[in-house]
């Protein structure tokens, strides 16, 4: 099970988010069937582009609470000055993916970017 975390500008189109998630899956040698959730921060989760992208990807749309985002921050590998200033984490995409994947999650793919969006992939902790 893979969770795609995304960050984006409010002006982004759903198609751009979908394209970026598909690119992330391809870069990680994962099939679309591995994707279980699309996650972002609460402030962006109700925007039409995000909800449409989740529908087009046929996955659950997850709004990550601020507390969960901050809890995932130590595992975030990307340190974007803009993201730190706006949201308190180095990468919204990475933090959202990790938070939505749950405790013990790991990044599968660090943040990649398009013109108006970012995407990262995480997977939940696996049982030993």
Q: Looking at residue 78, what is its pLDDT?
A: 85
Question: Whole-angstrom Cα distance, residue 35 to residue 76?
Answer: 20
**Domain ranges, residue 12:** 2-123
Q: Where do we find the tokens 């730190």? A: 84
Give a yes or no: residue 100 inside a domain.
yes
Q: Looking at residue 87, what is its pLDDT?
A: 75
Q: Looking at residue 90, what is its pLDDT?
A: 72
Give a yes or no: residue 91 inside a domain.
yes
Give a yes or no: residue 114 inside a domain.
yes
Number of domains in the chain: 1
Please list the pLDDT of the chain residue by residue as tens digits (128 residues): 999 999 999 999 999 999 999 999 999 999 999 999 999 999 999 999 999 999 999 999 999 999 999 899 888 988 888 887 777 787 999 999 999 999 999 999 999 999 999 999 999 987 45
Give a yes or no: residue 128 inside a domain.
no
Q: Kindly report the CATH number assigned to the domain that includes residue 23.
A: 3.30.420.180
| Whole-structure pTM value | 0.93
């Amino acid at each position: 099970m893979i969770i795609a975390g995304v960050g984006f500008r409010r002006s982004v189109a759903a198609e751009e988010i979908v394209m970026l998630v598909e690119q992330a899956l391809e870069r990680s040698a994962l099939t679309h069937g591995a994707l279980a959730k699309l996650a972002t921060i609460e402030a962006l989760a109700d925007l039409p582009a995000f909800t449409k992208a989740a529908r087009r990807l046929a996955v659950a749309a997850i709004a990550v609470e601020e507390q969960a985002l901050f809890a995932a921050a130590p595992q975030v590998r990307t340190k974007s000055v803009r993201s730190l200033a706006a949201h308190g984490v180095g990468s919204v995409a990475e933090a959202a993916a990790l938070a939505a994947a749950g405790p013990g999650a790991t990044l599968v793919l660090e943040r990649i970017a398009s013109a108006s969006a970012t995407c990262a992939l995480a997977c939940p902790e696996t049982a030993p």
